[in-house]
Chains A and B, each alone.
Chain A
Amino acid sequence: MAVVVPMSLREAVDALAANPGALVLAGGTDAMVEINDGHRRVGHAGSPEVVVAVDRVAELRSWTLDPGGSRLTIGAGVTYTELMEEPLASFVPALAEASRTVGSPQIRNAGTLGGNLGTCSPAGDGLPVLSALDAEVHLAGATGTRTVSVHDFMVGVKQTVLAPGEIITAVTVPLLDGWQGYSKVGVRNAMVIATASACLAVDQPTRSVRIALGSVAPTIVRAPEAESFAAGHVDWGAGHVDPATAGEFGRLAAAAARPIDDHRSSAAYRRHAIDVMARRLLERAFRGADPT
């Protein structure tokens, strides 16, 4: 039984190669809840023998912009607090907005984008943004590295394609030219898990609209019918959207949701909330559209 604290990616990968069943601990904001709850008994029968705490792996804590300035690679260990700060907030505004809805400063100081992916909750606040941006997820293991689409990475409720011994190293997102934003419904005005959430991202050059939905399906879902409808009906030249188009966009987005009833809310309300949020997001995007 051991807690390993690697300082480099090499050490982390080696530690995981030696202990493929190890629990990877990033910011701890999800894993420690389970440990405290006794669900995941470190050091007891049936539980991981080794914890690899990756919060000090330098390579995971940094970000890089590609030479052309069109793609941003964010280390898995970058925290929500860092995502809210410049220049990252300007590069990916929706990710900054989503980060601001995550818990409290204490949680945002600890929680990381990689941890959000690793947990893969349908309510993970960073995930609709990554989905809307068609992010790529970079993984590393003893046998090498691989890159998978975020859509393929997320398999189900708290299920991913991560193989034993594999670690999330970074995420790459395109820097789109257009409005993007995140919207999240919860019962409280802060510190709340999403009842339903949505990220809308516009790319002016390709005249595309993307919308990804959180907390309304086993994992994040896109609403392709809504997207293509919006792309074909908004006034790209004037940067306007008429109310009927926005309304239909909302309905189509809601139709893509597959929500459930639970103790946090009802399926009917979640679907309704997606309808309203999607409509409002589109209106935000095309009412005062970014002049650039």
Chain B
Amino acid sequence: MNEHYVLHVNGRDHEVTDAWLGESLLDVLRERLGLLAAKGACEQGECGSCSVLVDGDLVCSCLVLGAAAVGRAITTVEGLTERGTLTDVQRAYLEAGAVQCGFCTPGLIMATHDLLDRVPEPTEMEIREELAGNVCRCTGYGRIIDAVQQVAVARRTGAGPA
């Protein structure tokens, strides 16, 4: 029942061994590859904590079958900081007070990068709609929206995050 396959995560091939084939990509990332940034909180695609990019599309990794992601380019939060520095989105979350317990944060960071790559200057309503799939139980979202707006402004003006 267990098989061996290779996943392409954050620009590198990772061998997956001894995985039960029913494991979600989230489980494979966390339990097989030791990439713990993506979090599981609902396993139903309802919270967004496990958000990753698969071939450039933002998806819930809990709803992707790990073994079916062979040959896809997968990006997790770990892949954002491979050069050892935080991204503008990560810095803005930190500085805007968008982080409390932090459990939703990696998923939101991925979703925010995805949003700002597609829509560089989102309105507040666009931010709310686009990030509605990322549930945060601590912050009430106000500082998160602020962080997203700070990044959008900084990118437009060419400044670093405020």
Question: How far does the alpha carbon of A55 sit from the alpha carbon of B130 in the complex, in Å?
Answer: 23
* CB-based contact A5/B133 at 8 Å: no
Pick the residue among B20, B43, B51 that contacts A43 (CB under 8 A): B20
Q: Chain A, 32-58, contact with B by CB distance < 8 Å: what is the 0/1 string? A: 110111000111100000010101000
Question: How far does the alpha carbon of A111 sit from the alpha carbon of B21 in the complex, in Å?
Answer: 21
Question: How far does the alpha carbon of A41 sit from the alpha carbon of B24 in the complex, in Å?
Answer: 12
Residues of A within 8 A of B21 (CB): 1-3, 42-43, 51
- Stretch of A100-108, A121-129, A284-292 that contacts chain B: A100-108
Question: How far does the alpha carbon of A190 sit from the alpha carbon of B48 in the complex, in Å?
Answer: 13
* CB-based contact A3/B68 at 8 Å: yes
Given contacts A32-B24, A36-B44, A104-B133, contact A51 B65 (CB under 8 A): yes
Question: How far does the alpha carbon of A58 sit from the alpha carbon of B131 in the complex, in Å?
Answer: 29
Question: Which DSSP category, helix, strand, loop or mixed, fits chain B's interface?
Answer: mixed
Pick the residue among A28, A81, A190, A191 that contacts B64 (CB under 8 A): A28
* CB-based contact A106/B64 at 8 Å: no
- Stretch of B54-62, B73-81, B88-96, B153-161 that contacts chain A: B54-62
Pick the residue among B22, B48, B71 that contacts A106 (CB under 8 A): B48
Question: How far does the alpha carbon of A33 sit from the alpha carbon of B42 in the complex, in Å?
Answer: 9
Asked whether B132 is an interface residue with its Cβ less than 8 Å from the other chain, the reply is yes
* CB-based contact A105/B130 at 8 Å: yes
Q: Rank and list the top 5 A-B pairs by shortest CB-CB distance, nearest first.
A: A104-B133, A53-B68, A42-B22, A190-B132, A3-B67
- 20 of the cross-chain contacts (CB-CB < 8 Å) are A5-B71, A27-B63, A28-B63, A28-B65, A32-B24, A32-B64, A43-B21, A51-B65, A51-B67, A53-B65, A53-B68, A104-B45, A104-B48, A105-B133, A106-B51, A106-B59, A107-B45, A107-B60, A107-B133, A190-B133
